[in-house]
């Protein structure tokens, strides 16, 4: 064991550990969860430290030997993907200081492991010109941006799948329903197309919200004034982060605002929540339309994925929409957490970014995975019970709505009431009472006319 000392006192640290006293204290202080800081935050933090070393050397505040040693350590960590030295919990007090200090410690200790002749100090060298208050939110934003392509890719597949289903079932007529009561007819083509349109808006919304994440506070240090950062560093740090990370970030015009306010996270979280709500609504529809099969709507046939009961043989449940529902409930809760945490910020800093980052990054990943399984394990092999849908339309009294412009609302209502009372089709009632001739009736009640597609 080696002895390390900080402003609180001394502590034993394992000899070969790359982490140090600050990270070890965090482990003891925050026994909330065994979930560690997200790997993409750590990866982004290492890129930031590499860029900072390059920038500080350019400002002549870090000599070339130390600069190269830090770069070498960062490159090794990024190439190997080894994050075993990063031990801080994802939920932590201190506004992310433990994660920043852990990163400083790992990089400093690794440089000296690679070259014992070089001494690198975690604060004076690795953390030079920085503060947790500008590096931590920057690493968080970078991590969120890195997860977005996978989410957008799955959303694009979802839109394409619903679009294809809309084309496949363009002529499959069905009853529409409002407030769970029979309404005028439509087609499954139109229904699936509407779902595609819904998720196109989610794509647009998430892209728009994520654009705000590209504005970062680097160079602001503690509260946005840039204390202890050279003018050269402030001017060049963002461009060097972009080179190290291959991203397109830009500096905020008001660094004091950027350090203390977290509205970007609220906006992005809200976009994720909206996607969750939309996924859940559509999953509700799928479960309801597939209900039965003998005593429910039985319009959709979802692919069979697993046995649904330990007591009822051959029972199959809509497990894929169900799991998507549950992810949606979770993400809605995450958004409430992000909202509360952002509102709770005080004066020059928000101390609650750790829980925001954990919530948002988990939401991104779970929404990505939920969308993937919805497409692959449900929608791709979904089918429509054409016979059931057609029969429901034929026997529905509400199809008489097509008569309102001809016979008027009151007379049409009486026809519908008689149809329901006698359990007889509207077409038969029209014929029996000689209200319209058979040719006109067939024309009015043709599938094309019922779904408003007649020429």
Cα–Cα dist 269/335, whole Å = 6
Cβ atoms within 10 Å, residue 435: 15
Cα–Cα dist 268/221, whole Å = 24
CA torsion through residues 58, 59, 63, 68, sign: negative
Q: Name the DSSP class of 307.
A: B
Q: Please say if 309 is a catalytic residue.
A: yes
Decide if 126 contacts 101 (C-beta within 8 A): no
Decide if 190 contacts 143 (C-beta within 8 A): no
Q: Which of 309, 404, 446, 454 is catalytic?
A: 309
Cα–Cα dist 149/311, whole Å = 43
Decide if 299 contacts 290 (C-beta within 8 A): yes
Compute and round to an integer the Cα radius of gyration of the chain.
30
The CA–CA distances, whole Å, from 318 to 46, 199, 223, 286, 293 equal: 43, 21, 51, 8, 11
Cα–Cα dist 320/50, whole Å = 43
Cβ atoms within 10 Å, residue 391: 11
Strand, coil or helix: what is 248?
Answer: coil
Helix and strand element counts for the chain (H, E): 17, 8
How many Cα neighbours within 13 Å face the side chain of 392? 23
Mind telling me the catalytic residues?
A: 309
């Amino acid at each position: 064991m080696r002895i390390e000392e900080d402003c609180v006192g001394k502590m034993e640290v394992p000899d070969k550990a790359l982490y140090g006293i600050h990270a070890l204290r965090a482990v003891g202080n925050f026994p909330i969860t065994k979930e560690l800081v997200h790997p993409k935050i750590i990866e982004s933090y290492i890129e930031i430290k590499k860029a900072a070393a390059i920038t500080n050397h350019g400002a002549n505040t870090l000599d070339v030997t130390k600069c190269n040693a830090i770069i070498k350590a960062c490159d090794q960590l990024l190439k190997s993907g080894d994050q075993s030295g990063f031990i801080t919990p994802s939920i932590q007090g201190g506004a992310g200081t433990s994660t920043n200090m852990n990163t400083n410690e790992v990089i400093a200790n690794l440089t000296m492991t690679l070259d014992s002749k070089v001494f690198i100090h975690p604060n004076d060298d690795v953390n030079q010109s920085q503060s947790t208050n500008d590096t931590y939110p920057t690493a968080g934003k970078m991590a969120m941006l890195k997860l977005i392509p996978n989410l957008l890719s799955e959303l694009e597949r979802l839109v394409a799948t619903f679009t294809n289903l809309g084309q496949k079932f363009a002529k499959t007529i069905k009853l529409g329903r409002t407030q769970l009561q029979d309404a005028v007819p439509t087609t499954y083509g139109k229904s699936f197309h509407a779902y595609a349109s819904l998720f196109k808006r989610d794509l647009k919304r998430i892209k728009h919200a994520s654009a705000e994440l590209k504005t970062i506070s680097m160079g602001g240090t503690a509260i946005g004034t840039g204390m202890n950062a050279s003018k050269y560093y402030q001017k060049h740090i963002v461009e060097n982060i972009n080179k190290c990370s291959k991203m397109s970030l830009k500096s905020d015009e008001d660094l004091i605002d950027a350090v203390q306010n977290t509205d970007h996270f609220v906006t992005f979280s809200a976009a994720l929540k909206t996607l969750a709500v939309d996924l859940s609504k559509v999953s509700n529809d799928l479960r309801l339309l597939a209900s039965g099969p003998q005593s429910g709507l039985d319009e959709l046939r979802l692919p069979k994925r697993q046995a649904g009961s330990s007591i009822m043989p051959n029972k199959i449940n809509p497990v894929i929409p169900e799991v998507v529902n549950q992810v949606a409930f979770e993400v809605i809760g995450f958004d409430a957490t992000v909202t509360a945490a952002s509102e709770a910020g005080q004066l020059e800093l928000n101390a609650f970014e750790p829980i925001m980052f954990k919530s948002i990054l988990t939401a991104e990943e779970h929404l990505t995975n939920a969308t993937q399984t919805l497409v692959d394990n449900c929608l791709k092999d979904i089918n429509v019970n054409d016979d059931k849908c057609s029969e429901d339309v034929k026997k529905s009294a509400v199809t008489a709505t097509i008569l309102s412009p001809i016979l008027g609302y009151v007379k049409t209502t009486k026809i519908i009431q008689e149809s329901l009372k006698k359990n007889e089709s509207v077409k038969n009632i029209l014929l029996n009472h000689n209200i319209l001739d058979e040719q006109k009736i067939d024309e009015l009640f043709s599938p094309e006319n019922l779904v408003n597609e007649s020429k």
